[in-house]
Chain A
């Protein structure tokens, strides 16, 4: 989240799209409804009428996989009616930048498309520059090559009629949404967007989320209280686990993992990855301090601080790639901690089969999950499965201490209430034990390949690791005396500081001072910043990009909901005058005056400091609608059917369905009463009682067509497999009228599996191994099926 949960109450308009907050983040709705009580308009756009829709002032349906058209339509509406926040757009975004005239977009492709290589040459995706290398500007926004004019022309095709024809949203319902949300383009008004996996699980998800960012920048909704593009994340510490880089492509703090091709040496890495301007110029300090934290005394200037110890990537090792490699027999051993891929992974048939090809599998969980028990799953003969499986009991969350980072980037500490039963242990204990045992197994080895393990610093105690010691390492310290650094501003690239994750620096600013434990809440009638509750990364900043909450002169757009402002008389520690003051920590150099050079560039993480309406991603610098890889209709926007850079896997079990055989759009989702794979919740009687069985939601019209009655058993089939479910025939799902065609859609919760108290087929048997072009997250929110009465 750019903002945080409580801040939603400061919004004048709330657009919930690609998420279902009432069901999946019920407590967030406390703040949604608080905003609504104060007059905010609540808008929900979703393929089906959900518990969120039930509370919305405006609900608009859309066919799964067409969100870019809907948002693009809103952008078009706002530009056509001149409803954007002009001063914000001119001063804070790259709208006035003049593009190279060679940049073009034609019939679904941007300039530079190479059909042979299936990739873009990005040479023309650039700005015209002045003699000093800075981009040429036209603040009147009239030059036809400005980003603004390009954007306007690009989205001019996204008319309300196009929205109706592609999304199936009745035109007047779309316009009502566009009109209501566009009102936040007025200076001093704020609109927030709340999204989740309804936006991330598409083959063009990154571009979809970028479309929302463009919309928010046009309306001046980024950096302000009650604004932002807010990802409602789904697990208690999924923000923290992302920050801590349990992902192939990053090291802690979003430092890219080094690759063989680009980063054979530390010098090459720093040269290639450190931009010339913007806050990332500090990257060398963060990486070197990380190396010092990991390799300690073995990290010296002479050995590039142990940079060679780090593994170097030569390919994508993302989740889908991982299971494809396992299915191909390339992975021998697999350690699964608190996750249940046999249910959560797309194309579960392939992923379960992949587990059979392992030599050994370690699973740590609270219950016997489908992943741990894959060898006795449906259609599997255990005698033929040679995988050795270790299932280790984990402690429950109230049986261990430590910090979680919520979606609003708040680190909060939790205290341990009771001891775990029997041999159940925390994952900290497990990793600690493993590290000690492996270090012992490799002790004395002189082989170069074993040195990374032997060099790894590991001093957290014997059994349960001392987690505050870990957090202090994460925070960073000066090597000489081991004292915590106050923040990442004190990190260096000379090996004199160590820091496990620079963005968390400041959480442990002094010995014994763990700010994740802070428990001083703001009064309810305040803006809800809560600077004294927990610690928000970075540097306890609660609302990112908050320089943009003030106008170019440094005065808040909205005085009542002001975050920071420039006070020319406020005194700095050195006695000089003029600094940024306010309720939040400025996302800006505190002494940089609005009229100084760069004083009006609010987005400090970007080299030019301007919000990027135009921003190169692999499939283009502006978002464009393509159909989902599996779609029942032709793309009406261009001749390019689906994202040309979508990642489509091609193992024998990776089948794609055609609309003749599979004419119905399907989407998956979650319910309030279960969590993800249900590995816990399907075992809890009070939850099972409320949601006992897998069901498939469908419209009355589709049910009638198929002769299905509410409560009937049905079979849902895709090119990957089929599942049984109970039909839930409801007026909350309506067929989509696309011109003279009618497209049906069904929805299936993905919580079920073959273990637990409440058993059922897994929706992910149906979903494909198709990945977003940038993130490779699977397209499980729009795929094709057929449905029949069982």
Chain B
């Protein structure tokens, strides 16, 4: 078995060249096998976050981490393709600037404070109740109108249908009429 230039070099660990008739040997050699980074990963079908084409994506999960997000080859719309934005989305997941704690900014403060989630939810519920109670209009010109006029809500076109439905239901339930989102921008 002849030794390729590369085997030889790898063995020698330094430069030397096997001469051939034409002066260079560019014959192919078997390189070390390179392993697919998604090998053995759990493949979870999802949808792209960005525009409304509705492309299918597959998140490859290994050891609880998403190791790749690729186009879903079975998806009839994108058939495995993705644009640059979708290819970059994976950078969101472990992003150093991503929010993982509640940040709270009291009136007049110049900095955020980290707060527990449960505390924040309690505070928010209390603010909503206080504002609702203070600004509620029950009737107008003798008609029951049940409006929480001091509260507005915006969003969102990037949350699921089920979440949108719950949000609409909760806000209308509270009497919020200032309910809008990106669809009107």
Q: Cβ of A142 < 8 Å from any Cβ of B?
A: no
Give A238 to B49 CA distance when docked, in angstroms. Answer: 11
Known A-B contacts A28-B53, A335-B154, A397-B46; A404 and B105 likewise in contact (beta carbons under 8 Å): no
**Closest chain A CB from B97 CB (angstroms):** 6
Q: How large is the interface on A (under 10, 10 to 19, 20 to 34, 35 or more residues)?
A: 35 or more
CB closest residue in chain B, given A689: B88
Contact of A245 among B85, B122, B168 (CB under 8 A): B168
Known A-B contacts A311-B177, A456-B173, A474-B162; A434 and B156 likewise in contact (beta carbons under 8 Å): no
CB closest residue in chain B, given A385: B108
Contact B125 A422 (CB under 8 A): no
Contact of B184 among A428, A437, A680, A777 (CB under 8 A): A777
Contact B164 A246 (CB under 8 A): yes
Known A-B contacts A312-B144, A398-B66, A521-B74; A474 and B161 likewise in contact (beta carbons under 8 Å): yes
B83: chain A residues at CB < 8 Å are 26-27, 672
Known A-B contacts A431-B166, A452-B174; A236 and B54 likewise in contact (beta carbons under 8 Å): yes
Give A673 to B85 CA distance when docked, in angstroms. Answer: 6
Of B13-21, B29-37, B128-136, the one touching chain A: B128-136
CB closest residue in chain B, given A690: B84
CB closest residue in chain B, given A755: B97
Of A337-345, A632-640, A694-702, the one touching chain B: A337-345
| Chain A contacts with B in 576-605, Cβ cutoff 8 A | none
A775: chain B residues at CB < 8 Å are 184
Contact of A5 among B48, B53, B107, B174 (CB under 8 A): B53
A403: chain B residues at CB < 8 Å are 160-162
Give A609 to B99 CA distance when docked, in angstroms. Answer: 52
A390: chain B residues at CB < 8 Å are 102-104, 120, 123-124
Contact B166 A432 (CB under 8 A): yes
Contact of B87 among A402, A442, A686 (CB under 8 A): A686
**Closest chain B CB from A218 CB (angstroms):** 28
Contact of A235 among B50, B56, B169 (CB under 8 A): B50
B61: chain A residues at CB < 8 Å are 417-418
Give A24 to B51 CA distance when docked, in angstroms. Answer: 8
Contact of A241 among B56, B136, B183 (CB under 8 A): B183
Give A317 to B51 CA distance when docked, in angstroms. Answer: 26
Contact of B53 among A365, A406, A449 (CB under 8 A): A406
**Closest chain B CB from A591 CB (angstroms):** 31
Give A309 to B163 CA distance when docked, in angstroms. Answer: 22
Known A-B contacts A247-B181, A319-B180, A448-B138; A427 and B172 likewise in contact (beta carbons under 8 Å): no
A500: chain B residues at CB < 8 Å are 165, 169
Contact of A382 among B110, B175, B178 (CB under 8 A): B110
Contact of A331 among B79, B109, B150 (CB under 8 A): B150
Q: Cβ of A683 < 8 Å from any Cβ of B?
A: yes
Q: Chain A 682-723 against B: per-residue CB contact (8 Å), 1 yes, 0 no? A: 011111001000000000000000000000000000000000
Contact B143 A264 (CB under 8 A): yes
Give A232 to B53 CA distance when docked, in angstroms. Answer: 8
Contact of A311 among B98, B175, B184 (CB under 8 A): B175
B59: chain A residues at CB < 8 Å are 398, 417-418
Q: Cβ of B179 < 8 Å from any Cβ of A?
A: yes
Give A28 to B54 CA distance when docked, in angstroms. Answer: 10
Residue of B151, B156, B179, B182 with highest tally of chain A CB at under 10 A = B182
Q: Cβ of B146 < 8 Å from any Cβ of A?
A: yes
Q: Chain B 34-62 against A: per-residue CB contact (8 Å), 1 yes, 0 no? A: 00000000001111111111111101010
Contact A365 B161 (CB under 8 A): no
Contact B92 A336 (CB under 8 A): no
Contact of A415 among B44, B87, B92, B147 (CB under 8 A): B44
Contact B178 A248 (CB under 8 A): yes
Contact B85 A392 (CB under 8 A): no
Give A473 to B166 CA distance when docked, in angstroms. Answer: 11
CB closest residue in chain A, given B87: A686
B136: chain A residues at CB < 8 Å are 449
Contact B161 A404 (CB under 8 A): yes
Q: Cβ of A412 < 8 Å from any Cβ of B?
A: yes
Contact A675 B160 (CB under 8 A): no
**Closest chain A CB from B111 CB (angstroms):** 9
Give A35 to B53 CA distance when docked, in angstroms. Answer: 17
B184: chain A residues at CB < 8 Å are 247, 318-319, 775-777
Contact B165 A470 (CB under 8 A): yes
Give A372 to B165 CA distance when docked, in angstroms. Answer: 24
A428: chain B residues at CB < 8 Å are 159-160, 162-163, 166
Give A241 to B47 CA distance when docked, in angstroms. Answer: 16
Contact B148 A392 (CB under 8 A): no
B76: chain A residues at CB < 8 Å are 6, 521-522, 524, 528, 530, 533
Contact of B99 among A322, A386, A393, A418 (CB under 8 A): A393
Give A9 to B2 CA distance when docked, in angstroms. Answer: 55
Contact A423 B185 (CB under 8 A): no
Contact A344 B88 (CB under 8 A): no
Known A-B contacts A318-B184, A334-B154, A449-B146; A412 and B47 likewise in contact (beta carbons under 8 Å): yes
Contact of A438 among B56, B128, B179 (CB under 8 A): B128
Contact B157 A237 (CB under 8 A): yes
Contact A777 B185 (CB under 8 A): yes
A322: chain B residues at CB < 8 Å are 152, 154, 178, 180
Contact B85 A675 (CB under 8 A): yes
Contact A412 B54 (CB under 8 A): yes
Contact B146 A252 (CB under 8 A): no
Contact B163 A384 (CB under 8 A): no
**Closest chain A CB from B47 CB (angstroms):** 4
Give A27 to B158 CA distance when docked, in angstroms. Answer: 18
Contact A247 B52 (CB under 8 A): no
Q: Cβ of A391 < 8 Å from any Cβ of B?
A: yes
Q: Cβ of B95 < 8 Å from any Cβ of A?
A: yes
Q: Cβ of B5 < 8 Å from any Cβ of A?
A: no
Contact of B176 among A311, A407, A675 (CB under 8 A): A311
Known A-B contacts A246-B155, A332-B151; A396 and B105 likewise in contact (beta carbons under 8 Å): no
CB closest residue in chain B, given A201: B185
Give A441 to B129 CA distance when docked, in angstroms. Answer: 8
Give A336 to B59 CA distance when docked, in angstroms. Answer: 28
Residue of A239, A338, A424, A685 with highest tally of chain B CB at under 10 A = A338
Give A530 to B76 CA distance when docked, in angstroms. Answer: 8
A248: chain B residues at CB < 8 Å are 177-180
Q: Cβ of B9 < 8 Å from any Cβ of A?
A: no
Q: Cβ of B106 < 8 Å from any Cβ of A?
A: yes
Known A-B contacts A27-B53, A242-B183, A426-B163; A252 and B168 likewise in contact (beta carbons under 8 Å): yes
Q: Cβ of A366 < 8 Å from any Cβ of B?
A: yes
B152: chain A residues at CB < 8 Å are 322, 325-326, 331, 333-335
Contact B138 A449 (CB under 8 A): yes
Contact A313 B169 (CB under 8 A): no
Q: List 21 A-B contacts (CB under 8 A).
A: A26-B84, A27-B78, A235-B158, A236-B52, A237-B157, A237-B159, A243-B161, A246-B180, A248-B180, A322-B154, A322-B178, A334-B151, A339-B154, A385-B107, A387-B107, A392-B102, A398-B93, A399-B93, A407-B54, A410-B54, A412-B56
Given contacts A246-B168, A391-B105, A438-B125, 20 further A-B contacts (CB under 8 A): A233-B52, A236-B52, A244-B168, A246-B164, A257-B177, A311-B175, A322-B178, A325-B152, A325-B178, A367-B95, A387-B107, A388-B127, A391-B112, A398-B93, A407-B54, A423-B101, A427-B163, A452-B146, A521-B76, A687-B84
Across the A-B interface, give the 5 residue pairs with the lowest CB-CB distance, nearest first.
A406-B54, A402-B160, A422-B100, A338-B156, A337-B155
